[in-house]
């Protein structure tokens, strides 16, 4: 999938244009295009020109650039821009949170040439001696450098999973495999992964291995064995494939799904029961008699446990819960009845109400909430009162013509730096769903940011706190916020917390989701759709919810229309 590489190029182009002081609209167009391409679950190489042009921010010019990258691996305009900007400066731009203006300042005043230089000077507080640079900026830069370095060994799930699934479908097509599944952290839906672990059964392991190491996306073969091979594919992702015997498949799947700490706990239980559990099967210790291993359930059954879903296997209490018969009945994708975070053409989305409703119905939903950005977010053409009220009228008129589906009115309002929202209560009270989110002032202190979120949760008309921690996996850390206090505020006011299912957000994360559930705070799992196929990201949000032990009853948009409306009504003063 080329999406990430192209998105990164466009984003770099925006940085370079900014350094050169070019037209702000041009810069924004590149940024917006980058963001939207990165969020697509579908490979741009497989999209028609028409589909590309439907992506917000992508016109004829960028379509041509995408095609050129596809064909030549290069974008001419990017190469040209890069040559016009000093190399050291371009390196600084790779640090998350360090914008072009600041990078230029450092480059010119401090002659910083690489990331190590930058780190050293930030630690020595040399950066904050420059005008306009605060100590907080130094802290943010150090965090950015840490993210950058960490990002090299763990990749975001949302980047790796589509590529892993592509490999699976190619293998299914070209290799003589019987069973073929993902294992490891991907199967557990962990938010970042180190590599892709694939497990298969086959009568001809040799041929499977040979097809695998010759797949078109393979860039390097690390190991080519008779039943195990390792390769590196485009984007620097390592993929391991193992072929095992059918009678061991379940045991191997349990073993290679992990997590390691979950496996260790299982093996301890086995020892106490006079059993031996490994990747080949479950055996009786005293005579090595084979008791099972063909199916994954065997492993749990023979240890006297109910089946534990992969998303729970982190040794976070799931073994105890299984022993005591109190595992959660986990939420499933099919439980979701609608999506409460959807953008239209009115702000930075790219579709009409009609198109969105059609796509939502195809996914079996009963409702969606239209939540365009509001006026504080100029880059996203946020709606002012007047435009929002127009949209509201349009939604009501459209609703009157719908049967068996409900469009909810809404907005995604900005929680401003001074804790106020960018639309007045008289407007908000007319909406069914109000999402409140932070889109600015990420560098503020923990105290201030926490206060912003707490006060938003206290506003009588806010329904959901959206993407509450502001992170972008592998790119931008969460802002500094005391989520415990935000949760306490949400509990007091009965507000819901979002799991934003956009694959690079996954915000809140799994541990916060678990905490929310423990505190009895309702969760809303939403895709933040701007382009139709982003509706399909719901599975990411549901999986994070499952990693947070959520059940159907914990999630407001797993309710049917009537029950959701009842819940919404009770929330209002
Ligand atoms: P990752 O790759 O860091 O994202 O996370 P995993 O969980 O995929 O870890 P990985 O790829 O090293 O190994 C896959 C699974 O294999 C792991 O979840 C559990 C199992 N495994 C690997 N090494 C060991 C080990 O030394 N002991 C045990 N018990 N299990 C192991
Ligand atoms: Ca792995
Ligand atoms: Zn949004």
| CA 149 – ligand 2 centroid, Å | 19
Helix (H) or strand (E) holding 145: helix 135-151
Cβ–ligand 1 distance for 260 under 6 Å, the answer: yes
Helix (H) or strand (E) holding 231: strand 228-233
Q: Which atom of ligand 1 is nearest to the CA of 185?
A: 8
Protein residue with its CA nearest to atom 15 in ligand 1: 256
Q: Per residue in 233-258, pLDDT tens?
A: 987 899 999 999 999 999 999 999 99
User: Does residue 345 have a pLDDT over 70?
Assistant: yes
| Confidence class for position 32, pLDDT limits 50, 70, 90 | confident
Protein residue with its CA nearest to atom 23 in ligand 1: 260
Average pLDDT rounded to a whole number, residues 458-483: 94
> 229: which strand partners?
224, 241
Please identify, among 153, 169, 195, the residue that sits at the C-terminal boundary of a domain. Answer: 153
Three-class secondary structure of residue 230 per DSSP: strand
Residue 543 in any domain: the answer is yes
Residue 252 in any domain: the answer is no
**The predicted structure's pLDDT at residue 195:** 95
Task: Write down the mean pLDDT value for the chain.
Answer: 93
DSSP 31: H
| Confidence class for position 566, pLDDT limits 50, 70, 90 | very high
Statement to judge: residues 148 and 183 lie in one domain: no
CA-wise closest residue to 530 among 371, 363, 333: 371
Statement to judge: residues 9 and 40 lie in one domain: yes
Residue 72 or residue 485, greater confidence: 485
**The predicted structure's pLDDT at residue 72:** 84
Give the ligand whose atoms come closest to the C-alpha of residue 262. Answer: 1
CA-wise closest residue to 202 among 176, 168, 228: 176
Statement to judge: residues 34 and 57 lie in one domain: yes
Question: Cβ distance 364 to 370 under 8 Å?
Answer: no
- The rounded percent of the chain whose pLDDT value lies above 70 is 99
Lowest mean pLDDT among 127-136, 288-297, 418-427: 127-136
Rounded CA-CA distance 193/190 in Å is 7
Strand runs labelled E in 449-517: 464-465, 496-500
Mutate to test the pocket of ligand 1, among 152, 159, 185 (most ligand atoms within 8 A of CB): 185
Cβ–ligand 1 distance for 311 under 6 Å, the answer: no
Q: Which residues have a Cβ under 8 Å from the Cβ of 480 and sit 6 or more positions away?
A: 444, 445, 446, 449
The pTM of the full predicted model, rounded to 2 decimals, is 0.83
| CA 258 – ligand 1 centroid, Å | 6
**The predicted structure's pLDDT at residue 519:** 97
Rounded CA-CA distance 11/32 in Å is 9
Statement to judge: residues 469 and 405 lie in one domain: yes
What's the CATH code of the domain at 209? 3.30.460.10
Count CA atoms within 13 Å of residue 60 on its CB side.
0
| Phi/psi at 177 (5° precision) | -105, 150
| CA 249 – ligand 2 centroid, Å | 17
Cβ–ligand 1 distance for 256 under 6 Å, the answer: yes
Question: Cβ distance 160 to 194 under 8 Å?
Answer: no
N-to-C CA span, the chain: 48
Rounded CA-CA distance 561/406 in Å is 8
Please identify, among 217, 243, 269, the residue that sits at the C-terminal boundary of a domain. Answer: 243
What's the CATH code of the domain at 386? 3.20.20.140
Q: What Rg do the C-alpha atoms of the chain give, in angstroms?
A: 25
**The predicted structure's pLDDT at residue 111:** 85
* Peptide bond before residue 543 is cis, with ω within 30 degrees of 0: no
**The predicted structure's pLDDT at residue 310:** 98
CB atoms within 10 A of CB 208: 24
Parent domain of 274 = 258-323
Statement to judge: residues 413 and 546 lie in one domain: yes
Average pLDDT rounded to a whole number, residues 56-84: 88
Give the ligand whose atoms come closest to the C-alpha of residue 507. Answer: 3
Residue 443 or residue 356, greater confidence: 356
Q: Give buried/exposed letters for 302-340 (b at 16+ CB in 10 A, else e).
A: bbebeebbbbbbbbbebbebbeeeebbebbeeebbbbbb
User: Does residue 152 have a pLDDT over 70?
Assistant: no
> 180: which strand partners?
200
| CA 158 – ligand 2 centroid, Å | 15
Statement to judge: residues 308 and 418 lie in one domain: no
Q: Which atom of ligand 1 is nearest to the CA of 195?
A: 2
User: Does residue 338 have a pLDDT over 90?
Assistant: yes
Q: Which residues have a Cβ under 8 Å from the Cβ of 104 and sit 6 or more positions away?
A: 19, 89
Residue 253 in any domain: the answer is no
User: Does residue 150 have a pLDDT over 70?
Assistant: no
Cβ–ligand 1 distance for 96 under 6 Å, the answer: no
**The predicted structure's pLDDT at residue 541:** 98
Q: Per residue in 74-122, pLDDT tens?
A: 899 998 988 888 877 877 887 877 888 888 888 888 888 788 889 999 9
User: Does residue 330 have a pLDDT over 80?
Assistant: yes
**The predicted structure's pLDDT at residue 114:** 84
Residue 15 in any domain: the answer is yes
User: Does residue 561 have a pLDDT over 90?
Assistant: yes
Q: Which residues have a Cβ under 8 Å from the Cβ of 102 and sit 6 or more positions away?
A: 133, 137
Rounded CA-CA distance 509/522 in Å is 15
Q: Which atom of ligand 1 is nearest to the CA of 154?
A: 4
Q: How far is CA 182 from the centre of its chain?
A: 19
Rounded CA-CA distance 29/32 in Å is 5
| CA 331 – ligand 1 centroid, Å | 26
DSSP 333: G
Rounded CA-CA distance 186/157 in Å is 7
Cβ–ligand 1 distance for 314 under 6 Å, the answer: no
Q: Per residue in 501-548, pLDDT tens?
A: 999 999 999 999 999 999 999 999 999 999 999 999 999 999 999 999
Please identify, among 49, 65, 80, the residue that sits at the C-terminal boundary of a domain. Answer: 80
Protein residue with its CA nearest to atom 12 in ligand 1: 184
Residue 339 in any domain: the answer is yes
Burial label for 455, CB within 10 Å (0-12, 13-18, 19+), is middle
Statement to judge: residues 94 and 51 lie in one domain: no
Count CA atoms within 13 Å of residue 79 on its CB side.
8
Three-class secondary structure of residue 193 per DSSP: strand
User: Does residue 173 have a pLDDT over 70?
Assistant: yes
Residue 251 in any domain: the answer is no
Statement to judge: residues 460 and 347 lie in one domain: yes
**The predicted structure's pLDDT at residue 151:** 60
Residue 270 or residue 83, greater confidence: 270
Cβ–ligand 1 distance for 258 under 6 Å, the answer: yes
DSSP 285: T
Rounded CA-CA distance 224/210 in Å is 8
**The predicted structure's pLDDT at residue 383:** 94
Q: Per residue in 414-462, pLDDT tens?
A: 999 999 999 999 999 999 999 999 999 998 999 999 999 999 999 999 9
Protein residue with its CA nearest to atom 30 in ligand 1: 260
Rounded CA-CA distance 290/284 in Å is 7
Statement to judge: residues 385 and 459 lie in one domain: yes
Residue 32 in any domain: the answer is yes
**How many domains, in total, are found in the chain?**
5
Average pLDDT rounded to a whole number, residues 370-375: 96
Residue 207 in any domain: the answer is yes
- Tokens representing 29? 């167009």
Question: Cβ distance 370 to 344 under 8 Å?
Answer: yes
Statement to judge: residues 395 and 416 lie in one domain: yes
Average pLDDT rounded to a whole number, residues 39-63: 85
Rounded CA-CA distance 169/69 in Å is 25
CA-wise closest residue to 521 among 547, 478, 556: 556
Statement to judge: residues 159 and 141 lie in one domain: no
Cβ–ligand 1 distance for 261 under 6 Å, the answer: no
Statement to judge: residues 283 and 412 lie in one domain: no
Burial label for 364, CB within 10 Å (0-12, 13-18, 19+), is exposed
| Confidence class for position 37, pLDDT limits 50, 70, 90 | confident
Cβ–ligand 1 distance for 113 under 6 Å, the answer: no
Average pLDDT rounded to a whole number, residues 157-173: 95
| Phi/psi at 146 (5° precision) | -60, -45
Protein residue with its CA nearest to atom 2 in ligand 1: 194
Rounded CA-CA distance 246/230 in Å is 21
- The rounded percent of the chain whose pLDDT value lies above 90 is 73
What's the CATH code of the domain at 61? 1.10.150.110
Protein residue with its CA nearest to atom 8 in ligand 1: 184
User: Does residue 42 have a pLDDT over 90?
Assistant: no
CA distances from 279 to 250, 299, 514 (A): 8, 10, 30
Q: Per residue in 407-421, pLDDT tens?
A: 999 999 999 999 999
| Phi/psi at 285 (5° precision) | -60, -50
């Amino acid at each position: 999938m080329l999406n990430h590489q192209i998105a990164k190029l466009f984003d770099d182009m925006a940085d370079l244009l900014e350094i050169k002081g070019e037209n702000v609209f041009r810069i924004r167009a590149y940024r917006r295009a980058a963001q939207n391409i990165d969020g697509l679950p579908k490979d741009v190489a497989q999209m028609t020109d028409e589909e590309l042009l439907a992506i917000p921010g992508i016109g004829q010019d960028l379509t041509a650039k995408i095609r050129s990258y596809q064909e030549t691996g290069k974008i001419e305009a990017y190469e040209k821009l890069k040559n016009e900007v000093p190399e050291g400066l371009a390196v600084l731009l790779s640090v998350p949170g360090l914008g072009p203006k600041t990078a230029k300042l450092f480059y010119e005043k401090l002659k910083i040439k690489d990331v190590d230089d930058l780190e050293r000077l930030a630690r020595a507080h040399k950066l904050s001696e420059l005008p306009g640079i605060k100590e907080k900026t130094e802290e943010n830069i150090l965090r950015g450098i840490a993210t950058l370095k960490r990002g090299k060994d763990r990749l975001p799930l949302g980047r790796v999973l589509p590529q892993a699934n592509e490999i699976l479908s190619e293998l299914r097509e070209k290799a003589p495999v019987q069973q073929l599944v993902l294992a490891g952290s991907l199967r557990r839906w962990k938010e970042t992964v180190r590599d892709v672990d694939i497990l298969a059964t086959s009568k001809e392991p040799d041929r499977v291995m040979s097809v695998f190491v010759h797949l078109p996306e393979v860039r390097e073969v690390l190991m080519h064995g008779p039943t195990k091979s390792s390769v590196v594919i485009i984007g620097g992702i390592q993929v391991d494939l193992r072929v095992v015997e059918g009678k061991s498949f379940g045991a191997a799947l349990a073993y290679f799904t992990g997590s390691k700490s979950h496996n260790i706990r299982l093996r301890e239980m086995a020892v106490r029961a006079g059993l031996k559990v490994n990747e080949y099967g479950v055996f009786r210790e005293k005579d090595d008699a084979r008791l099972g291993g063909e199916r994954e359930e065997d492993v749990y059954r023979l240890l006297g446990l109910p089946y534990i879903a992969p998303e729970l296997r982190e040794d976070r209490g799931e073994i105890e819960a299984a022993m005591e018969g109190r595992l959660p009945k986990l939420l499933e994708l099919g439980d979701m009845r609608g999506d409460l975070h959807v953008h239209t053409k009115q702000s930075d989305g790219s579709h009409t109400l009609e198109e969105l409703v059609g796509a939502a119905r195809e996914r079996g939903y009963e409702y969606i909430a239209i939540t365009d950005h509001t006026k504080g977010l100029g880059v996203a053409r946020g709606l002012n009162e007047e435009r929002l009220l127009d949209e509201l009228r349009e939604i009501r008129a459209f609703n009157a013509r719908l049967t068996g589906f409900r469009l909810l009115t809404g907005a995604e309002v900005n929680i401003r730096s001074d804790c106020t929202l960018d639309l007045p209560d008289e407007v908000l009270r007319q909406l069914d769903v109000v999402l409140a989110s932070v889109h600015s002032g990420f560098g503020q202190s923990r105290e201030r940011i926490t206060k912003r979120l707490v006060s938003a949760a206290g506003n009588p008309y806010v329904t959901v706190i959206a993407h509450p921690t502001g992170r972008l996996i592998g790119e931008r850390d969460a802002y500094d916020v005391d989520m415990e206090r935000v949760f306490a505020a949400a509990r007091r006011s009965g507000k819901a917390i979002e799991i934003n299912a956009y694959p690079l957000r996954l915000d809140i994360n799994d541990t916060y989701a678990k905490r929310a559930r423990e505190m009895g705070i309702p969760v809303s799992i939403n895709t933040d759709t701007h382009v139709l196929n982003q509706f399909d990201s719901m599975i990411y949000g549901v999986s994070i919810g499952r990693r947070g032990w959520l059940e159907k009853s914990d999630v407001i948009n797993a309710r049917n229309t009537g029950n959701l409306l009842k819940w919404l009504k009770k929330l209002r003063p």
